[in-house]
Amino acid sequence: MRSARLSVKLGITVTAMCAVLVLVMATFALASIWRQLDIQAKDGLEEKLSQVEHSLAEGSSSIADIVLHPHNLRDQIIGHDNLTLTIMDSSIPRKRLLRLGEGEGEGDEVEQPVPKINTSALEFKEINSAEGFETLMAYKLIRLKNDQQILVILTLDRRSDYTLLKAYVKSTLIALPLILLLVGGCAWWVVHRGLKPLRAFRRVAESISARDLSHRMKVQGLPEELSDLAHAVNFMLHRLDGDVQQLAQFSDDLAHELRSPMNNLMGTAQVTLSRERPPHEYKQVLESCTEELERLSRMVSQMLFLASVSQPSAPLTFSSVDLQDEAYKVSELFAIAAEEKKMSVEVSGEGKVLGDKLMIQRAISNLLSNAIRHGSPGSIVTLGLSTLADEVILAVSNVGEGIEAEHLPRLFDRFYRVHPSRSRQQGGAGLGLAIVRSIMSLHEGRVTARSELGRITTFSLIFPKAT
């Protein structure tokens, strides 16, 4: 099943959250409006009742007075449509003496619930009417000048408060779907817009192939989260591009390297076969072919070794290696080659590292063979060991014509030779230093080259110090 789009999911989630929020807020608002209206109603009744009390104290001295001259009291409630003033006898059973306001003039059948009350304190009572709204009553016992007691009841019809609340609820319910639609739409739009850069990612991904890795993400204008991602993607593409180019270059170089010896072999064979020859000539040709084939086979095994070092099939187990021991061993192997050029090899210093013994021997012998090959006849090649705070260095130095600075950075590339034709004659395929570099990176170290023209050339193997 295809999962829903992120923008739709987020739109729905935000809408649901907003719905809950609006409902909670509306409920709170409703409760506090109702409380406020309640307080207002009670305050209003209390004030009105004290005005009525005041007017009774001033104008009426007896019950008869009140019944005969109600206009004083009528003034008090005039203009308040929702107020009713009822005066009752204080004796029990209570009898209604007067009613002003709503329901005035109706007979006793308009039943007022008569409160049982004995103190002269103000009291409230809420009564729910049959129509569903509330009536609020405030009542108080009042003593007249002639010592007669009456019960004054003020009744407030709260129909208008109910109407107000109903209108509030209605408008909230009407506005809610509109608000939600708006919020959901906005959320969808914001997310949809926010994800626009991802579509650019997709376009770049679609246009990338092994043949064309040149596309890059535009980082400018992206939000921070995505610009980090774009940087990472661009960096990855950059690396892949470099690797792919290197690979292409490598196969190019390889074909090139193989072509000339093959052509040589083929040419020699064809020329030899073109006419009958005495046996010793065939022997000569076969010998020279064998030499060329040996060189080819050396190159192939070097390449296989390079591949195995660059991408080891199993994790290597390193052991402690005494570099001094290895330096002596390798220099013994090259003793004859050195002697042929009247050269000598000296080992000095000491150092121990963690590593693979055979590989380290191979790295040292690649450097030493170069040093002897390129060293001046009669000179000394030194293998100097030194142990620093966090590095162990093995430096192979020889005196000779040296290497021009422009070649130094590329010296460790596969098949790179300073003098290609001369080097080839000497049997070098330009893989020796590439192998050294791969071995060093396997040991988490590095190899550097330094050269003064006509003087000393030094290659240093730099190992991390064993801990």
Which residue ranges make up the site for ligand ADP (CB under 6 A)? 366, 370-371, 374, 398, 400, 403, 411, 416-419, 423, 428-433, 457
The residue (of 142 and 372) whose beta carbon lies closer to Mg ion is 372
Pick what 371 binds: Mg ion, ligand ADP, none; C-beta below 5 to 8 Å, kind-dependent. Answer: ligand ADP
Q: Of 16-24, 26-34, 286-294, 420-428, which part binds Mg ion (CB under 5 A)?
A: 420-428
CA dist 135 and 44 (Å) reads 14
The residue (of 398 and 460) whose beta carbon lies closer to ligand ADP is 398
CA dist 132 and 174 (Å) reads 23
- Least distance from Mg ion to the Cβ atom of residue 417, Å: 9
SS3 (DSSP) at 395: strand
- Least distance from Mg ion to the Cβ atom of residue 370, Å: 4
Pick what 360 binds: ligand ADP, Mg ion, none; C-beta below 5 to 8 Å, kind-dependent. Answer: none
Q: Of 35-43, 74-82, 386-394, 428-436, which part binds Mg ion (CB under 5 A)?
A: 428-436
The residue (of 219 and 418) whose beta carbon lies closer to ligand ADP is 418
- Least distance from ligand ADP to the Cβ atom of residue 365, Å: 11
What mask of x and - would describe binding to Mg ion in positions 268 to 307, judged by CB under 5 A? ----------------------------------------
> Residues of 302-340 as b/e, b for ≥16 C-beta within 10 angstroms?
bbebbeebeeeeeeeebeebebbebbeebbeebeeebee
- Least distance from Mg ion to the Cβ atom of residue 404, Å: 17
Torsion of CA 65, 69, 73, 77, to 10 degrees: 150
The residue (of 230 and 371) whose beta carbon lies closer to ligand ADP is 371
Residue entry with tokens 């000497």: 426
> Residues of 61-74 as b/e, b for ≥16 C-beta within 10 angstroms?
eebebbeeebeebe
The residue (of 59 and 261) whose beta carbon lies closer to Mg ion is 261
Pick what 11 binds: Mg ion, ligand ADP, none; C-beta below 5 to 8 Å, kind-dependent. Answer: none
Residue 221 DSSP class:
T
The residue (of 140 and 417) whose beta carbon lies closer to Mg ion is 417
Phi (first) and psi of residue 106, to 5 degrees: -70, 160
> Residues of 14-28 as b/e, b for ≥16 C-beta within 10 angstroms?
bbeebbeebeeebee
CA dist 136 and 274 (Å) reads 131
- Least distance from ligand ADP to the Cβ atom of residue 392, Å: 21
Residue entry with tokens 């608000």: 179
The residue (of 384 and 464) whose beta carbon lies closer to ligand ADP is 384
Pairing of strands 352-355, 319-322: antiparallel
Instruction: Count residues binding Mg ion (CB under 5 A).
Output: 3
Residue entry with tokens 């064979």: 269
The residue (of 355 and 400) whose beta carbon lies closer to ligand ADP is 400
- Least distance from Mg ion to the Cβ atom of residue 371, Å: 10
CA dist 362 and 356 (Å) reads 10
The residue (of 84 and 451) whose beta carbon lies closer to ligand ADP is 451
- Least distance from Mg ion to the Cβ atom of residue 273, Å: 35
Q: Is 400 in the site for Mg ion (CB under 5 A)?
A: no
Q: Which residues contact 223 (CB under 8 A, 6 or more apart)?
A: 194, 197
Which residue from 154, 432, 435, 459 is in contact with Mg ion, where contact means CB under 5 A? Answer: 432
What mask of x and - would describe binding to Mg ion in positions 367 to 386, judged by CB under 5 A? ---x----------------
Phi (first) and psi of residue 464, to 5 degrees: -70, 145
The neighbouring-strand residues paired with 87 are: 98, 152
CA dist 336 and 343 (Å) reads 10
Pick what 445 binds: ligand ADP, Mg ion, none; C-beta below 5 to 8 Å, kind-dependent. Answer: none
- Residue number of the CB closest to Mg ion reads 432
- Least distance from ligand ADP to the Cβ atom of residue 378, Å: 16
CA dist 237 and 53 (Å) reads 92
The residue (of 184 and 432) whose beta carbon lies closer to ligand ADP is 432
- Least distance from Mg ion to the Cβ atom of residue 414, Å: 12
CA dist 392 and 396 (Å) reads 13
Pick what 403 binds: Mg ion, ligand ADP, none; C-beta below 5 to 8 Å, kind-dependent. Answer: ligand ADP
- Least distance from ligand ADP to the Cβ atom of residue 270, Å: 29
The residue (of 184 and 432) whose beta carbon lies closer to Mg ion is 432
- Long-range contacts formed by 439-445: CB under 8 A, 24+ apart: 439/309, 439/359, 439/360, 439/362, 439/363, 440/363, 442/309, 442/312, 442/316, 442/356, 442/359, 443/318, 443/353, 443/354, 443/355, 443/356, 443/359, 443/360, 445/391
Pick what 430 binds: Mg ion, ligand ADP, none; C-beta below 5 to 8 Å, kind-dependent. Answer: ligand ADP
- Least distance from Mg ion to the Cβ atom of residue 277, Å: 36
The overall longest dimension of the chain from CA atoms, in Å, is 167
Which parts of this chain interact with Mg ion (CB under 5 A)? Answer: 370, 428, 432
